Amino acid sequence: MIPARLSTGARLSLGLLAGVPVLLLILATLGALSQTTVEGLPVVPWQTLWGLPLDRWVRDIAASLVLGFVVVGGLLLPRLDHRLVRLASLAALAWLIALLAQVPLTVSELLGRPLVDSLEPQIVAALLTQTQLGQILVAQIVLVALVALLGWAILGRVTAAIVLGMAAAAAGLTGLMGHSGLHAGHTSASVSLFIHLLAAGVWVGGLIAVCSHVMRHPDDAALAIRRFSTLALVCVIVLAESGLLNASLRVDGVASLITTAYGTLILAKATLLAALIVFGWRQRRRVVPTGDRVSLVRFAGYEVLLMGIALGVSVALSRTAPPAGAIPGDHITAGALAVLALGVPLVMAWAGAGRQGRPAWLHRLTAAYPEPFAVAVAVLTYVMAAIVPSGLLGIGVAAVLASLALIAVGWAFAVAALGPRGLPAIVLAAVLWPAALWLASLSDPVETGAQVALAGAVGLACIGLLVVVRRTARSDPAVAVAPEEVPVA
């Protein structure tokens, strides 16, 4: 139960916690939380394997809150909201603590030392002064400490802009670490990740900030919602473009997207972003014209939950090795099967669940007999999991065709599930689809049982969400699919 006394911002921020189990589950199934012994390499203690991603998660969340709260509280609103900028300053304190904790965690990971021994002054000094990673950390620590201090002193727009500049620089420096900093296309990778992180931060933190503000200042609601809606649109476009550019520098085509863990996580993120775009589009249509702050906060609750999951997947992505390249013989991962056959179609069907977006021809095709579509999606998943996307066509073309086939059949199933007789098809898919995935994994086990189980759970969650979309579409007159309008063949 969420205590009723919590402020709107605090209650919404709790949604971001959804990222923690997601992050840990992904890393656990990829084996990134268990100690491994490779001859000649230091053994990283388990405390560090758990601590580092959790610390990165805190860092990313705190950075997002700082950016969003300063942008909204200091610059976007008709007058300064001192409460929001002070909250930004508090979030900067959490960010600072996460950066300080990153120092011993990084020493421990690089040298394979227990955490307690990773605070030795000589080693810490060497890391911070002699390595690029350490120098970036020092720059971030100084900038974030200044943000935490100056946040209390924001007096006007100019100070807010200066603090925002420092926070943006500190957040963007993360782009020089990790995979981007190590990548051959160093500059493009770092710049695109820099922009990606800023857009994500302003969007996520800004949404929470604007909800928190309008619940306390109803007079500002219409203007604040209108302005934030435009800002959010820009952030989404920039986020998607920078994310795709960054991904294209690490993944050499669709084949790697669907045959590797790294690619699968990118697919999952893109799907989550698509779902967020649908939410945002509905917000724009319903909340922006009316300035209805209660609806804004209600929608924002779901959005922040999805953003939290996307942030969890992002940190897992940054802890996963980018693929070396797909080769003929590689299998489609169970996760990619779940995302392509059920995740993407769920978002597509949900987006079209209104009167305008509904493809009537597809409803006509699926309305009378939805069950065969549930069988088809399970059979195709089995076939695609068993068949290697290579052959005569070449791995790239085969991967594109396999992805399109999975999405098309999955979409037909999702539309059938949302139709007047959809429930039996949903139940059938909930039984057949995980069984198909499991059977396929038995015949040629290239992934661990945990990976297949997680993919199965994601698929089942998507099937479950179809029930939710059905209910909402039927109870909400704005998106209702009127069964009588669908001529049954």
Interface residues with ligand HEM (CB under 6 A) are 56, 60, 174, 178-180, 193, 196-197, 200, 204, 239-240, 243-244, 246-247, 266, 269-270, 272-273, 307, 310-311, 314-315, 317-318
**Could you tell me where the DSSP H helices lie in 112-185?**
121-130, 132-151, 157-173, 178-182
Give whichever of 181 and 372 is closer to ligand HEM, judged by the CB atom: 181
Q: How far is the CB of 190 from ligand HEM (least distance, A)?
A: 10
DSSP string covering 240-293 = HHHHHHHHHHH--SHHHHHHSHHHHHHHHHHHHHHHHHHHHHHHHHHHHHHT-H
Q: How far is the CB of 84 from ligand HEM (least distance, A)?
A: 20
Give whichever of 223 and 244 is closer to ligand HEM, judged by the CB atom: 244
Give whichever of 58 and 163 is closer to ligand HEM, judged by the CB atom: 58
Where in 351-436 does DSSP place strands (E)? none
The neighbour count for residue 46, using CB atoms within 10 Å, is 11
Q: How far is the CB of 51 from ligand HEM (least distance, A)?
A: 14
Residue type (1 letter), 245: L
Give whichever of 266 and 339 is closer to ligand HEM, judged by the CB atom: 266
Inter-CA distances, 308 with 223, 398, 399, Å: 26, 34, 30
Give whichever of 60 and 109 is closer to ligand HEM, judged by the CB atom: 60
Query: 127-143 burial, b for 16+ CB within 10 Å, e for fewer?
Result: bbeeeebbebbeebbeb
Residue type (1 letter), 111: L
Q: How far is the CB of 209 from ligand HEM (least distance, A)?
A: 15
Cβ distance 417 to 349 under 8 Å? yes
Q: How far is the CB of 317 from ligand HEM (least distance, A)?
A: 4
For residue 420 the two structure tokens come to 């007047």
Q: How far is the CB of 227 from ligand HEM (least distance, A)?
A: 20
Q: How far is the CB of 109 from ligand HEM (least distance, A)?
A: 14
Residue type (1 letter), 409: V
Rounded distance between C-alpha atoms, residue 172 and residue 195, angstroms: 7
The neighbour count for residue 154, using CB atoms within 10 Å, is 25
Q: How far is the CB of 283 from ligand HEM (least distance, A)?
A: 15
Residue type (1 letter), 306: L
For residue 265 the two structure tokens come to 């996580």
Rounded distance between C-alpha atoms, residue 432 and residue 409, angstroms: 15
Give whichever of 269 and 363 is closer to ligand HEM, judged by the CB atom: 269
Q: How far is the CB of 307 from ligand HEM (least distance, A)?
A: 5
Give whichever of 277 and 408 is closer to ligand HEM, judged by the CB atom: 277
**CB-based closest residue to ligand HEM:** 243
Inter-CA distances, 169 with 139, 284, 294, 333, Å: 9, 30, 34, 37
Rounded distance between C-alpha atoms, residue 380 and residue 405, angstroms: 8
Q: How far is the CB of 1 from ligand HEM (least distance, A)?
A: 27
Give whichever of 56 and 358 is closer to ligand HEM, judged by the CB atom: 56
Q: How far is the CB of 474 from ligand HEM (least distance, A)?
A: 29
For residue 331 the two structure tokens come to 């299998």
Give whichever of 197 and 414 is closer to ligand HEM, judged by the CB atom: 197
Give whichever of 200 and 341 is closer to ligand HEM, judged by the CB atom: 200
Give whichever of 242 and 366 is closer to ligand HEM, judged by the CB atom: 242
Q: What are phi and psi of 5, to 5 degrees?
A: -75, -15
- Measured N-to-C along each axis, helices 344-351 and 395-418 cross at an angle, to the nearest 10 degrees, of 50
Rounded distance between C-alpha atoms, residue 335 and residue 319, angstroms: 17
